[in-house]
Every structure is written in C-alpha cells, then in structure tokens.
Amino acid sequence: MKEAEIVAQINTDLKGGQFDSKKFQKGRFSGIAELVGRKEETVPAIIDNDGNETILVINDIYPFEVYHRHTGSTVQEVEGNFGDLVYRQETAQMLMVVIGDRKRLKMTKEEIITGILLGMPLEFGSTFLNTNSLDQVSIVPGDFNLSKVDAWNGEYNTELVKLKPETIFFTLTYNIETRAKVDCIDIC
C-alpha cells in the first residue's frame, strides 16, 4: 500500500540527511523500477502510467544513483483494537539498488552503506500517515548484496558485466510494512 509514496519519502530522507552533500545532490534518486526485456537483456526501467519508460542504465552524468524495485508482497487481515475495525496489513518485499562512482564521490561502499543505514527512515510520522490514509508504516532493512557481479546479474541479465573498477554497485533488501483500515484507501 502506497509503496511509491513511501519510496519517495525514503529518497527524500536520504537526500536531506546522510546524502545532503553537494556530490550526492547531483545524483539520481529514482522511484520504483520494473525489469523489462530488451532484445536478449533485461534492464530496469521506471514506467509511468502512460506506459512511457525511462531505462535506468549506469549514467556517467550521475556520481550516485539509487532506485528501488518491488519484488513481492504478502497481505493479511488483522482486527483492530476497537470494535469492528478491520485492517489490512501488507509486507512489501523491496530491493534498493545503489550505484556510485568511487572516483567522484571519494568514498568507499562501506561509507555509503553506513549512510543508507543511518539515513533510511524506519518509522513514518503522523503527517505522512494521515496524508496517505495509513495507520502504520515501518521499514525493516534486510541484507546487502555486496557482490557486484551478482547484483548486476540480478538487475541487467547481460552477457557481460559492464562495470568499471571504480563503480560501486550493490543492493539492499528491505520490507515495507503498512497497515490501513479496509475502508480508508480509495484507489479510484
């Protein structure tokens, strides 16, 4: 529920917190991408509601890039504490892909990992919850995949791994746990 809005807030918190220096502000913080087929390759792309694609390839213009993917969800119904309130709770399995240019950032991947862990919100305030008709939102960080080759193959599925030695490329799994009253979110 509301994954796009939650991911946008994660990006905003990262840009305004741990990654607020000038070298990161020139980066690209993208929303939720999907994997799309291109000839014999798979590539991540942001797809808008008109079907327009923005392919996310490593772009030398940006010293730092982040995008997210929604890889699965589970939903359960839970009863509220008051009377007949019925809530739905969703756990969305997410993947954050992080790309950086070590030469331009003058940072190690370990420093970037620390920045993500310290800057990623774990809870969301009442203003965000009320604006998005949610009762609760929690972020649960998971595991980092620090193997450039494995992370690349999970996203791009190409014959050749097209990463320069100075390229930082890793992924982080995380869950978004949301809860909302059944009758509070209108998608129409």
**pLDDT, tens digit (0-9, with 9 covering 90-100), for 4-37:** 999 999 999 999 998 999 889 899 999 999 999 8
Q: What is the CATH number of the domain that holds 10?
A: 3.30.2000.10
**Whole-number mean pLDDT of the chain?**
90
Residue 67 lies in a domain: yes
43: pLDDT strictly greater than 50: yes
Cα distance between residue 5 and residue 12, in whole Å = 10
Portion of the chain with pLDDT greater than 70, in percent? 93
Decide if 187 is inside a domain: no
* Domain encompassing residue 90: 3-181
> Token pair 């991947």 is at which residue?
109
Among the listed residues 134, 113, 110, the one whose alpha carbon sits nearest the alpha carbon of residue 123: 134
Task: Establish if 145 belongs to a structural domain.
Answer: yes
Please count the structural domains in the chain.
Answer: 1
Residue 98: per-residue pLDDT: 97
Q: What would the two tokens of residue 133 be? A: 């008709």
In this prediction, residues 128-133 reach a mean pLDDT of 91
Q: Is residue 75 part of a domain?
A: yes
Return the HEC string of the chain.
CCHHHHHHHHHHHHHHCCCCCHHHHCCEEEEEEEEEEECCEEEEEEECCCCCEEECCCCCCCCEEEEEEEEEEEEEEEECCCCCCEEEEEEEEEEEEEEEEHHHHCCCHHHHHHHHHHHCCCECCHHHHHHCCCCEEEEEEEEEECCHHHHHHHHHCCCCCCCCCCEEEEEEEEEEEEEEECCCCCCC
pTM for this model (two decimals) = 0.90
**47-103 tens-digit pLDDT:** 999 999 999 988 889 999 999 999 999 988 776 655 556 778 999 999 999 999 999
